[in-house]
Amino acid sequence: MLEHDVLVIGAGLAGMRAAIAARAGGATVAIISKVHPVRSHSNAAQGGINAALTDRGDEWEDHAYDTVKGSDFLGDQDAIEVMCKAAGQALIDMEHFGVTFNRDDEGRLGTRAFGGQRRARTFFVGDFTGQALLHVMFEQLIKSGVRRYEEWFVSSLIIEDGQVCGVMALEIRTGQVFAIRAKTVIFCTGGFGRVFEPSTNALICTGDGSALAFNAGAELMDMEMVQYHPTTLAGSGVLISEAARGEGAYLLDKDGNRFMEKYAPNMMELASRDVVSRAEQTEINAGNGVDGCVYLDCRHLGEAMIMEKLSQIREIGIDLVGVDMITDPIPIRPGMHYAMGGIRTNVDGQTNLPGVYAAGECACVSVHGGNRLGANSLLDTIVFGERSGNHAAEASRDSDYVEFNVDQAVRNEEKRIQDLLDRPQNGDRIASVRLGMGESMNRNLAVYRNEEGMKETLGDLVELQKRYETVPVDNKGKVFNTDLIFALELGFMLDNATPIAMSALDRKDSRGAQARTDYPDRDDENWMKHLVIKKGETGPELSYAPVSITQWTPEERKY
């Protein structure tokens, strides 16, 4: 019988941090991931990780205020305080684990400027900070001896009488179905980026955890808050890091003007991401772009600096669009990037389901509110990954496994999968349903939204869900059946899409990443609250939760 006190689902930064913390807390821990841990999407974070170090004369309250303001005052200030207070230690922990952070002339950790921060407190490794952290976390995971289920796909959560019992998982290499018992489960499954097409996200970012949790009765929160990153490549949607702007790059329209002057005269290109994306989209819509893009210009930064600090994004520009940023500006546009919303948790990662936790991008504590500042995500994963791991280990000490009929569960899941494989071949292809969803979401739930568009997408989603029910799986085999995985993931993606669209339609104001042309102003009187969505009898049900306000009174947000 496979059983563990704490089962962490997802082996990105949050997952590995949680697993290591839980293990240190004395629990039996296992971590399960549908890809090898180092393939996790934490890899793709480029710019850096924020922390206010007191020995530099920085204050965590300043970082917290910048974050609160960045969130457009939707972020829960108590949670933000927790995160910013813990940041310094989290950073030093990472350095002690071995991360090869950039240094200043005195050999101390060096910083770069980043969006929405009034002083430079972003610590970095070139322009591949996420990859650097992820690999060091994996080294520590190896060292910790935590049991790893690598390339295992969690297909369902097992709940008995409102209590979590464990998960059903498919060993991808053999196709065998297993039940894994756990006293506590921590979802660290990342974002739902592939619900949108295009997206900066990897193909594996299909919102599995948020869907599984939602279907089991967990609350999701702030699902309408979807970040469109200002600098993504046309076509593939691949990310070009904010680090470029942090190091001084300009955003230019087709005539070479720095248009951010009109929208954020103080912080210019380093205003918060939603502000910059809206600025770009407005310029593009007004005809000041080229082929739906504006330009990111790094030429004045010089070859030496680009090679030292931005070499990876330079490679991406050359490989994917044939542009060398040393000599030419890169065409970019806003692209779907990050989910501020997700599974609702408290500051210890607990959800409304006993024994079920969440941390990282799939969770909504909320520290990012309506808009996430760059370099706060890496921090979020480490701080709340650790807190969830600690709490889950503690909680599992005093609890027992919940009994359930393991054989029956395995048989049921095997049948469910076999039914999927046995579908007739005449339905729509998986890719076409996925593209239909992605294109609709990107059309109507992007930088600017309106009622008509969002209703259209909700209608599209109903259609797509029907089409999904008959999508065939080409591969009838057991070994490494990626086709089956895609079919299951598509289901999860659709499960995320409707809550996103419903929440966006319900929120009748513009705040953070949500910008409605029919409700263009921020309406604190009526909408200073979180949208919570939960699975109901006939469909998802919306409710509201207050925003925690501790020190900072909401004010107008100007950059």
Partner 1 sequence: MDVKLNIKRFDPEVADPQPYWEEFTVTIEDNGTVLDALIKVREDSDGAFSLRCSCRSSICGSCAVRINGHAGLACKTQAATAIKDGVITVEPAGNMPVIKDLVVNFDSFWDKINEIEPYLKPEGPEPEAEYIASNEAMLHLSDVTSCIMCGSCFSDCTVLEVDPTFLGPAALAKAYRFTADPRDGDENGLSIDRLEELNKPTGMWDCTRCMECVTACPKGVAPMERIMALRDQAMEAGFTNTNGARHTEAFSDSVEHSGWLDELRLVPKSVGMTNVSALIGYAPIAIQAITHGKMPPIIHKKLPQSKNVGKIFDKVDGPEERGRRR
Give the separation between CA 290 and CA 113, rounded to whole angstroms. 28
Q: Min. distance of Cβ 335 from partner 1 in angstroms?
A: 12
Residues in a beta bridge with 251: 296
Exposure on the CB side of residue 319, measured as CA atoms within 13 A? 10
What SS3 state is found at 370? coil
Output phi, psi for 297, to 5 deg.
-110, 115
Q: Min. distance of Cβ 556 from partner 1 in angstroms?
A: 37
C-beta of 126 vs 349, nearer to partner 1:
126
Verify whether residue 96 is a known catalytic residue: no
Question: Position 266: which residue type?
Answer: N
Strands 29-33 and 2-9: parallel
C-beta of 203 vs 290, nearer to partner 1:
203
Full strand arrangement of the beta sheet holding 226-233: 226-233, 330-339, 294-297, 250-252
Output phi, psi for 481, to 5 deg.
-85, 85
State the residues that interact with partner 1 by CB under 8 A.
35-36, 38-41, 43-44, 55, 92, 95-98, 100-110, 125-126, 128, 131-132, 135-136, 139-140, 142-143, 173, 202-204, 235-236, 238-239, 308, 312, 315-316, 319-322, 429-431, 473-483, 486
- Given 245, 333, 387, 507, which residue is catalytic? 245
Q: Min. distance of Cβ 331 from partner 1 in angstroms?
A: 12
Q: Min. distance of Cβ 449 from partner 1 in angstroms?
A: 27
Q: Min. distance of Cβ 431 from partner 1 in angstroms?
A: 4
C-beta of 321 vs 410, nearer to partner 1:
321
Give the separation between CA 75 and CA 221, rounded to whole angstroms. 12
C-beta of 105 vs 291, nearer to partner 1:
105
C-beta of 181 vs 194, nearer to partner 1:
194
DSSP states along 171-229: ETTTTEEEEEEEEEEEE-----GGGSSSBSS-TT-S-HHHHHHHHTT--EE-TT-EEEE
Q: Min. distance of Cβ 139 from partner 1 in angstroms?
A: 4
Angle at 495 between CA 420 and CA 179, to 5 degrees: 55
C-beta of 131 vs 388, nearer to partner 1:
131
Q: Min. distance of Cβ 316 from partner 1 in angstroms?
A: 6
C-beta of 214 vs 486, nearer to partner 1:
486
Verify whether residue 229 is a known catalytic residue: yes
- Given 229, 344, 391, 516, which residue is catalytic? 229
Output phi, psi for 480, to 5 deg.
45, 55
Residues in a beta bridge with 435: none
Give the separation between CA 316 and CA 297, rounded to whole angstroms. 15
List Cβ neighbours of 45 (8 Å cut-off, separation of 6 or more).
Answer: 129, 130, 131, 133, 377, 378
**For helices 208-215 and 482-506, what crossing angle results, to 10°?**
70
Which are the catalytic amino acids?
229, 245
